[in-house]
Amino acid sequence: MRKRAAIYARTSTLDQPTQNQVYDLQPLARQRGLEVVKVYADQISGARARRPGLDPLMTDARQGKFEVLLVWAADRVARSVSHFLQVLDELHHLGVEFASYRESLDTAGPLGRAVVVIVAAIAELERSLITERVRAGLRRARLEGRRIDRPPLPVDRAGA
C-alpha cells in the first residue's frame, strides 16, 4: 500500500503563487511512490506560528490522514528554529515523515533529522539578518531627514 502524503506550500506575499512549489513537489511524490491526499497552502509570513493552511495540516496529521509531509523548502514551514523544531517534533511523534525538496532532506533517518535542524537554524539566522538590515536602513533614512512613514492624509475639517 502506498504511503499518503500531504504537500505544504507557503509564500510570504499574495502576489507570489504557491502553485510553483506544488508543481515541483508532485513529481517528487510520484518518484517516491507516494499518494498526495491533500495540498495545504498559505500566503502569509513564516514568522507567524498560526496560519490558515498550517493549522489544518497539523490537525489532519494528528488524525492520521497522511504519513509523509512534503515541503518545497524547510523555511516554508517556519522561520524560527523553535517553531520549526516544535512542528518537526510533533510530526515525528505522530509518525509523519518530513521531506524537503530544495534541501533534499528526509527525516526518515537520524542524519536527515540533524540536517533539518541545521537548516532551520540557518533560516532563522537569515531572517534575523534581513530584519537587521531593514532596521539599519530605516535608521539611516531618519538620520538623513527622510520621511519613512506614510504622509498624513489631508482632512477637510470645515467640510466635515
What's the domain range around 104?
Answer: 4-143
**21 belongs to a structural domain:** yes
**Domain with 55 in it: what CATH number?**
3.40.50.1390
Q: Which three cell numbers stand for residue 148?
A: 519613512
Q: Which three cell numbers stand for residue 44?
A: 502569509
Looking at the predicted structure, is the pLDDT value of residue 69 above 70? yes
Per-residue DSSP letter, 109 = S
Looking at the predicted structure, is the pLDDT value of residue 70 above 80? yes
Who wins on pLDDT, 77 or 152?
77
Determine what percent of the chain is predicted with pLDDT higher than 90.
48
**102 belongs to a structural domain:** yes
Could you write out the DSSP letters of every residue in 18-80? THHHHHHHHHHHHHTT-EEEEEEEEES-TT-S--TTHHHHHHHHHTT--SEEEES-GGGT-SS
Q: What average pLDDT does this structure show over 72-84?
A: 84
Looking at the predicted structure, is the pLDDT value of residue 160 above 70? no
**155 belongs to a structural domain:** no
Question: What is the distance of C-alpha 68 from the center of its chain?
Answer: 16
pLDDT digits (tens, 9 = 90+) for 21-42: 999 999 999 999 999 999 999 9
Please return the burial class of 96, using the count of CB atoms within 10 Å of its CB with bins 0-12, 13-18 and 19+.
buried
Using DSSP's 3-state secondary structure scheme, residue 150 falls into: coil
Who wins on pLDDT, 147 or 20?
20
Q: Which three cell numbers stand for residue 135?
A: 532596521
Q: What are phi and psi of 153, to 5 degrees?
A: -80, 135
**160 belongs to a structural domain:** no
Catalytic residue among 12, 45, 80, 104: 12
Who wins on pLDDT, 48 or 65?
65
Determine what percent of the chain is predicted with pLDDT higher than 70.
99
2/33 Cα distance (integer angstroms): 6
Q: What average pLDDT does this structure show over 66-90?
A: 87
**126 belongs to a structural domain:** yes
Looking at the predicted structure, is the pLDDT value of residue 81 above 80? no
Helical (H) or strand (E) element with 111: helix 110-143
Tell me how many domains the chain contains.
Answer: 1
Amino acid at 80: S
**75 belongs to a structural domain:** yes
Q: Are 48 and 60 in contact (CB under 8 A)?
A: no
Position 107 confidence tier, pLDDT thresholds 50, 70, 90:
confident
Residue 12 is among the residues annotated as catalytic for this protein: yes
Give the pLDDT confidence score for residue 61 in this predicted structure. 98
Segment among 1-5, 8-12, 106-110 with least mean pLDDT:
106-110
Q: Whole-number mean pLDDT of the chain?
A: 88
Question: What is the distance of C-alpha 2 from the center of its chain?
Answer: 26
**153 belongs to a structural domain:** no
8/70 Cα distance (integer angstroms): 6
Segment among 60-64, 90-94, 123-127, 137-141 with least mean pLDDT:
123-127
**152 belongs to a structural domain:** no
